[in-house]
Amino acid sequence: MADAAGRPEASPGSALIELRAVTKVYGRGSAAMHALRGIDLDIAAGEMVAVMGPSGSGKSTAMNILGCLDTPTSGTYRFRGVDVGTLSRDQRALLRRHALGFVFQGFNLLARTTALENVELPLIYQRVRRVERHRRAMTALAAVGLTGWAKHTPAELSGGQQQRVAIARALVTDPAVILADEPTGNLDTARSREIMDLLCAMNRERGITVVMITHEQDMAAYAGRVVHFLDGLVEPAATAVEDA
Amino acid sequence: MLSNSLLLAIREIRRNVLRSFLTILGIVIGVAAVIVMVTLGQGATAAVRTQIESLGTNLLIVRPGQHMGPGMSSDAPKFSLADVAALRHDLPALAAVAPAASSAMTAVAGNENWSTSVTGTDNAYLAARSWTLAAGRQFTPSELRAGRASCIIGATVRRELFGAQDPIGQRLRLKKLACEIVGLLEAKGQSSMGMDQDDLVLMPIRTLQRRIAGDQDVDVIYLSVKPGRSMDRTIADVERLLRERRHIGSMDEDDFRVRDMREIASMLAGTTTVLTSLLGAVASVSLLVGGIGIMNIMLVSVTERTREIGIRLAIGAREAEVLMQFLVEAVVLSSFGGLLGILLALGTALLLAGALKVPFIVDGGIIALAFLFSAAVGIVFGWFPARRAARLDPIEALRHE
């Protein structure tokens, strides 16, 4: 807290996520690939941020770093003031378990496993007891409008329904942040709008910070702020406007 | 953490029933093979023991020379008829004392001839071995005393020389000696060692000594102990008497050997026990192969489930938890395979024991051992795939198709 208090921008409710001069380099020497060339990005608690940019602009790399799945080559990533770069693999796993939720483009549900069991999965890792686990998973399924589909496996669900199961799985642990990587990329327009409405509702009603990558302008329009990536850098114009 | 891993593992096994079954098939067969082999082996051991004990546990066999190892005996003077008489006279605990001297010979009757074993003895031989006559009579005292050329034949000799004819009163020729057949032994079939017990000719021992062997030797003395008398004490008495008669100093080793059927029984049982261990060892190789089968499927399964592992890691599973899940999965699979194998083995052994006519003896120890071993197989062969799963990079794993 003392560390956070020393910074002018670290007032309560802001700078949940704080990237400073973050670079990511894959490979070495002449084969080195600079995915991120030094980005600064602050995301406050309760924000809904859309990340846009062409393929290879580094937005997926940035999401992996934000999701604590990867660590920066240089620079710092502070999550709630904690330098993620100094955490061990297991400590980052615990951070993901308790504070982060993921929604992927390809849904990434466990096959041949019911919607209910999929949603229960993060709670199992949190050691939530059976009755409580079941109750919370059913509540999460209800929140995404899938009460009647609890016993269905992903193969028996439409794409839109699968993505809603994935959202239920992300929010069942009541995370601080949901990271969504092109959550509507595999869905038609109507389904996409339903998913976006759902994410907006989570953001608005529960105060969950949402960071999502999208290619589509009208999906980005749901967000309170749009961050543009280009060639491993955050486009200054967009961030400058938002930071002001 | 263990109950969590168990929950995850059981969900995973249920998700892939067929694959899980095929994975454990090797263990099922391995465990079943070990238990069936050992169970049948122990049944056979018990069967051999009962069979030998039915030959008469009160029978003692005394031979000159010490047993030096398989098929080897030290050289020692033979017994004499005087030894036999002394045993009869001095040891009231003995029901029957029979001398025996044997020689392999060709018996000829008419146009038929048959190679057989000729034993010189007396009527006590029949009593000591509880043999009975199917036809004819025993030797008369005068035949025994005078060494007359009369003989009692076994069922095999009768069949080979006389076919279905009545042999009593007929003659057979042994070298130059023509013998009158006075008795026919009851057929006894094969011994437990596979020897034909009916392929023999008995004659008075004096006849054999004088007219065939040309010596005064007694090769073996058969003794039967009266019911209720202590075998061990009788053996000691026999040994003491024979040491005295053979002038063996108190510091010297016996130059003869008294064996009882219990000893032979345990020797034979020992043979089947060795055989059982061998069969068990061969069968346990299949258990090892079953373990390799589990490792193989688990490795394939880790590759196949890379994406799933990525999801688990992204959701917040720690390395140790993924490791535990796969390890527990392997152990649950292999011990379930062990259980199935035990059931299969008990059923198979029960059927086979009935078919092979050996007693069905369940050894709880070997069953527990097989079960623990199958669980251990899961740990050993599940470790490598589980570690591989736990060390996956979540980003790579999520990208995996």
Beta bridge partners of B96: B224
Residues B248 and B342 both lie in one domain: no
> What are the DSSP calls for B258-313, one per residue?
EEEHHHHHHHHHHHHHHHHHHHHHHHHHHHHHHHHHHHHHHHHHHHHTHHHHHHHH
Residue B57 lies in a domain: no
Residue B61 lies in a domain: no
Boundaries of domain holding B307: 2-51+266-399
* Nearest by Cα to B287 from B26, B38, B35: B26
As a whole number of angstroms, the distance between CA A142 and CA B314 comes to: 24
Q: What is the pLDDT of residues B32-85, one digit of tens each?
A: 988 888 888 888 888 877 777 666 668 888 988 876 655 555 678 889 899 999
Q: Considering only CA atoms, which of A178, A233, A164 is closest in space to residue A207?
A: A178
Q: Is B62 inside a domain boundary?
A: no
CA distance B337 to chain A (A): 23
DSSP bridge partners of A61: none
Is the residue at B294 inside a domain?
Answer: yes
Q: Which of B206, B222, B254 finishes a domain?
A: B254
Report d(CA A45, CA A209) in Å as an integer.
Answer: 6
Residues in A lying within 8 Å of B, measured between beta carbons: 64, 67, 69-70, 89-90, 93-98, 100, 102, 104, 108-113, 117, 121-122, 124-127, 169
Give the minimum alpha-carbon distance from A120 to chain B in angstroms, rounded to a whole number.
11
Q: Across the interface, which of A100, A104, A110 has its CB nearest the CB of B308?
A: A110
Shared domain check, B208 and B82: yes
Higher pLDDT, B48 or A73: A73
Return the CA Rg of chain A: 18
Angle (CA) B211 B214 B216, round 5°: 110
Query: Residue A97: closest CA among chain B residues belongs to which residue?
Result: B316
- Cβ–Cβ below 8 Å for B395 and A70: yes
Q: Are residues B121 and B87 in the same domain?
A: yes
Contact (Cβ atoms closer than 8 angstroms) between residue B183 and residue B168: yes
What band does A4 get if pLDDT is binned at 50, 70 and 90? very low
Within a domain: B72: no
Closest B-chain CA to A173: B315
Q: Please tell me which of the candidates A89, A110, A126 has its beta carbon nearest to residue B311.
A: A110
B294 and B387 share a domain?
A: yes
User: Does a structural domain hold residue B217?
Assistant: yes
Q: What is the pLDDT of residues A77-107, one digit of tens each?
A: 999 999 999 999 999 999 999 999 999 988 9
Residues B248 and B126 in one domain: yes
Do B121 and B142 reside in the same domain of the chain?
A: yes
Average pLDDT, chain A: 88
- How many domains does chain B divide into? 2
Please report the ipTM that was assigned to this predicted complex. Answer: 0.89
Contact B62, B246 (CB under 8 A): no
d(CA A183, CA A179): 9
Half-sphere exposure of residue A96: CA atoms within 13 angstroms, side-chain side:
31
Please tell me the predicted confidence (pLDDT) of residue B193: 62
- End of a domain among B223, B254, B285? B254
Domains and CATH numbers, chain A: 2-243 (3.40.50.300)
Q: Are residues B368 and B271 in the same domain?
A: yes
B129: tokens are 């071995």
Query: What pLDDT digit, counting tens, does each position of B118-141 carry?
Result: 999 999 998 888 888 999 999 999
Residue B83 lies in a domain: yes
pLDDT tens for A175-227 read: 999 999 999 988 899 989 999 999 999 999 999 999 999 999 988 999 999 99
The distance of A168 to chain B (nearest Cα, Å) reads 13
- Residue type for A227, please? V
Tell me: do B175 and B196 sit in the same domain.
Answer: yes
Whether the predicted pLDDT of A121 surpasses 80: yes
Interchain CB contact of B15 with A (< 8 Å): yes
Q: Are B144 and B245 found together in one domain?
A: yes
Put residue B77 in one of left, alpha, beta given phi > 0 → left and psi -120 to 50 → alpha: beta
Residue in B with minimal Cα distance to A107: B311
Distance separating alpha carbons of residues A208 and A210, to the nearest angstrom: 6
Residue B178 lies in a domain: yes
Q: How far is A193 from chain B (nearest CA, A)?
A: 25
Task: Clarify whether residues B337 and B249 are in a common domain.
Answer: no
Instruction: Give the whole-angstrom CA distance, residue B357 versus residue A234.
Output: 85
B91 within 8 A of B241, measured Cβ to Cβ: yes
User: Which of A76-90, B229-243, B272-286, B360-374 is modeled with the greatest confidence?
Assistant: A76-90
Question: Do residues B139 and B275 share a domain?
Answer: no
> What is the DSSP-derived secondary structure letter of residue B24?
H
